[in-house]
Structures are given as structure tokens and as C-alpha cells.
Chain A
């Protein structure tokens, strides 16, 4: 319908829109001035200072620890639960799946305040533990949603075939089912990890006692003006994600679409 060059220009403009803030962030991580918007010469100093800032490093530590722990725990629980859900009868299955959808469909703020209410109701001290529990809770549904389609794609009777050949149910799961659903499990773990590392809203409501992740740190800094050290840190993180992504993409070049579709549907 529309001429080819026009399409190209449109797409390029869209990418400019998407990447402009990121480019700005990265550029300003090398800015000598602390003020945003004013370019005052090139420097690496924020990168050096970053590794001396205990506050930022601590929130980085919490971010990564919680992301790793919550993605591992939710992947294990989610995978096993998906297996159970897959084998359930239709009505019970529907109920469980719909409950499972709740954290996905609910706005983060509702999930966040609901969990906060729960923790306070049970007199739990808000902090690392509550934040971890919250992350596991909102991660599991995504793992289940990533693993279930892979279970449905299993060749018919494959579990029976393994049992038939003498494998116990546990062995059959390890040797036959797990290798087959592995792409889904990895997808689920990746989604869980990225959701956890990027989460702000739910963490914001479920943490306390000085335990903050990067998002919360950034939020609390944002109005005063974010220290360029944060820019430096995010540039580094962005870069490592990019490198990781390129590596993963080289290995499984066509899985990427699935990752996203599973993530939001």
C-alpha cells in the first residue's frame, strides 16, 4: 500500500523513538557534569565511583540475589506444578489455571498491595524474605504458562512408552519428559529472571527494613535527579544483557518469538 522507502523511514523513526532514551542514558554516563542535560566533557569517573558506592552496590546485590533465587525456586515449583496441572481433570484444571492467571492479569499495584496486606496481616517483617516470596509468587504463573504448551506438544504416549520400557515415573520424568520440555522450562526461567530483575511496583510494596532493589533505588532518586553512577550501572547491565542476548540468539535463533508470546499471553 505504502511505498517501500516510506515504510523504511517509518520503522527507522520508531526505532529512534525507542532507543533515544537509552542512548541518552548511556551518553550521560560519560558526562563529567552531575546535572542532567548539560554536557560537560567526557569521563569514566562514574564507572569508578559506582564500585565504591555501597548503597547502589547493595541494591544491585539484592536485585540479583532475589532474581536468581526467585527464578530458580519458581522454575522448580512451576515446572512440577505444570506437570500436575497438565494431568488434572478439566474442571479442577480450569479453576487452578484461572487462579494462576490472576497475578498475570491483575495490575502489579494490586498484587503488590495485596501481598503487603498479607505480610502485615501475618505480622511478617517486610524485608528480604517478603520480597523474595512476592517475586516467587508472581513468577510461578509465567513459568507454568511457559511450560504447559510444551507439555501439550509432547508426543502422545511418550510417558507411557518410558514406563513401558521399565522406567519408574521419576526416571521417566528425568530422562524423557524433562529433556522434551526443557525449552519451555528455560523460557520460563528467563522470563522469571527478567521480570524479577526489572520489577519495581511489587517490590516497592513488599520490601522494608532497608532492603531495596535497583528499581526502588532509582525511584527514590528520580525526583532529586539520578546520580550518573546509576547511568553507568545501567549501561553496564544493558551491555551485559545485550551480550547475553546475542549469545543466546546465536544458539536458538528462532526461539525468541516464543519467549515473548509466552511472556504476555
Chain B
């Protein structure tokens, strides 16, 4: 009996997970000519046009920069938090999670209030007699939005690994004569790598696929691959090209995850790879 209880879910996941992806795949390798669907790789060829490659490069660059900033900001934070006493660090970690309970769009929108032309920062600048700055609708604003939204995704996995780390290993290293820097470089950091890779994946993935942050903070001209997909489906109506873009994005993300998990042997075999 126990074996059959999973049948409804198998049916569900085939219908709502597998079939839709197959549909997207089918759309991506066909084009509409005279109302007929024809097998073709044109959608992918079209992606190689400079306009689209530029979008891809911009998406990757912005996501990468945000991921690196998250790592630089997040790792020390995780390290500091992990060294607190249990009670205090539970509260501190909770404080990291709470902002995520507020609507993600609103939090991003709030940055418009802060950065905007008549926003808080510029109001403050003009109040003290300095010239105002263009803080919104540029790459910097998009990166800020990404870092702001995804920083907890970097801190939490690293924190988890660090706080579960066997303290005796560190003591052993000290006992064997390693100084604090050596202990960090040779023991703590290597052991925390699973958390780092998890964090990188969890930041990079949503960053590279977002279309909301770029739409709100980047302004219309700052198009990322997510915006392109949205546009193809909702405005242009070219589902075939949109599907091809989605497939490319999926492959990109799967490859980057495969790369990450290569550095993360301990986690291997747990997920897809």
C-alpha cells in the first residue's frame, strides 16, 4: 500500500513539471511559418545576434558582481554570527530572515524611495548643500537591489556550515601551532566551502534570472535576459524565441550548478548532479 501513495504525486509532477518543460523545449526548437510549426534551430541562432549576446553578457556580469559582493559582505557576517553564543546568534539569524518576510517587490520599491531623484539620499545631499546624484536606473542600482535581496541567501548557508563545524578541529590546528590567520585559511575556510558553494548558487541563480529588480531599479533600457523572456511571452508574443531563451537560461544555470557542485564533493549526489 505504501508504494501506491506516491502515485498521485508522480502523476502531478509529470503533468505540471515534466510536460510544461517539454512544451517549452518543443517551442524552442520550432518556428511558426504560415501558421505551421516547423522544426528549426533559428531561435537559438537568433540569440547569437549582438543585441541578445549583449543582454546575456550584461545579465551574467551583473549577477556575478552581485554574487561576489554578497560573498565579500556575507562571509564575515556569517563568521561573526557563528562565533556568538547560541541564544544570541539565534536571534541575530532571525533578524537576518525577518526582512524576507516582507514582500520582495516592496522592499525593492523602497529603494526607489531612497535612491530616487527626489529620494531620501538626494534630499539629504541638497539639504547639506551638495549636488544631487543619479542613483537610480543604472547598473549600480540593479546590483544594489540584487545584493540587498539575496544577501541572506549567502549568509545563511555559510553560517549553518560554520556553526556546525567541529570546534575540536580548530583547537587541534591551534594546538599544532597554527596562528589565527593560518587556522582560518587552512581549516575554517576549506571546511566552510560547502556553505560557500551553496550560497553562491543561491545568490547567482535568482540574480541571473531576475526581471523585477532590473525593471524597477534599472529602468527600461537596462534589460536582462529575464526581461527579454518576459517581453517575448507577454508583449511580443514570440513564444518560440522566448522558449529558446528560457532553455538557454536553464542550461546556463544547470551548468553553473554542476560547476559549483564539483567544488563541493560532500554534497555530491544529493541534488541533480
A and B touch in the complex (CB under 8 A): yes
List residues of A whose CB falls within 8 A of some B CB. 1-2, 7, 10-11, 14-15, 17-22, 24-25, 28, 35-38, 77-78, 80-81, 83-85, 87-88, 96, 98-103, 105-111, 113-118, 121, 133-134, 137, 140, 169, 194, 198, 200-201, 205, 214-215, 218-219, 222-223, 226, 230-231, 234, 237-238, 241-242, 245, 249, 253-254, 256-257, 260-261, 264-265
Interface of chain A, helix or strand or loop or mixed?
helix
Is B184 in the interface zone, CB < 8 Å from A? Answer: yes
- Residue contact A194 to B101, C-beta cutoff 8 Å: yes
**A contact residues around B110 at 8 Å (CB):** 20-22, 24-25
Which of B13, B216, B229, B253 is close to A100, meaning CB atoms less than 8 Å apart? B13
In the complex, per-residue mask of B50-93: 1 if CB is within 8 Å of any chain A CB, else 0: 00000000000000000000000100110011000000001011
**A contact residues around B2 at 8 Å (CB):** 83-84, 87, 169
Is B19 in the interface zone, CB < 8 Å from A? Answer: yes
**A contact residues around B14 at 8 Å (CB):** 99
- What residue of chain A has the Cβ atom nearest to residue B8's Cβ? A77
Is B233 in the interface zone, CB < 8 Å from A? Answer: yes
Min distance, Cβ B144 to any Cβ of chain A, angstroms: 10
CA distance A234 to B109 in the complex (A): 12
Given known contacts A96-B10, A107-B253, A118-B16, A256 and B99 CB-to-CB distance under 8 angstroms: no
In the complex, per-residue mask of B159-190: 1 if CB is within 8 Å of any chain A CB, else 0: 01000000000000000000011001000000
Given known contacts A10-B77, A105-B272, A253-B90, A215 and B20 CB-to-CB distance under 8 angstroms: no
- Residue contact A115 to B20, C-beta cutoff 8 Å: yes
Min distance, Cβ A98 to any Cβ of chain B, angstroms: 6
**B contact residues around A249 at 8 Å (CB):** 94
Which of B81, B90, B102 is close to A11, meaning CB atoms less than 8 Å apart? B81
List residues of B whose CB falls within 8 A of some A CB. 1-10, 12-21, 23-24, 27, 73, 76-77, 80-81, 90, 92-114, 116, 118-120, 122-123, 148, 151-153, 156-157, 160, 180-181, 184, 198, 202, 205-206, 208-209, 211-212, 215-216, 226, 229-230, 233-234, 239, 242-243, 246, 249-250, 253-254, 257, 271-272
**B contact residues around A117 at 8 Å (CB):** 20, 23-24, 27, 239, 243
Which of A87, A107, A218, A241 is close to B206, meaning CB atoms less than 8 Å apart? A107
Min distance, Cβ A143 to any Cβ of chain B, angstroms: 10
Min distance, Cβ A222 to any Cβ of chain B, angstroms: 5
- Residue contact B119 to A96, C-beta cutoff 8 Å: no
- What residue of chain B has the Cβ atom nearest to residue A119's Cβ? B20
Given A85-B6, A264-B156, 18 further pairs, Cβ under 8 A:
A1-B180, A7-B80, A20-B114, A22-B99, A24-B113, A37-B116, A83-B5, A87-B2, A102-B21, A109-B226, A114-B20, A118-B20, A198-B100, A205-B233, A219-B212, A226-B109, A238-B102, A265-B157
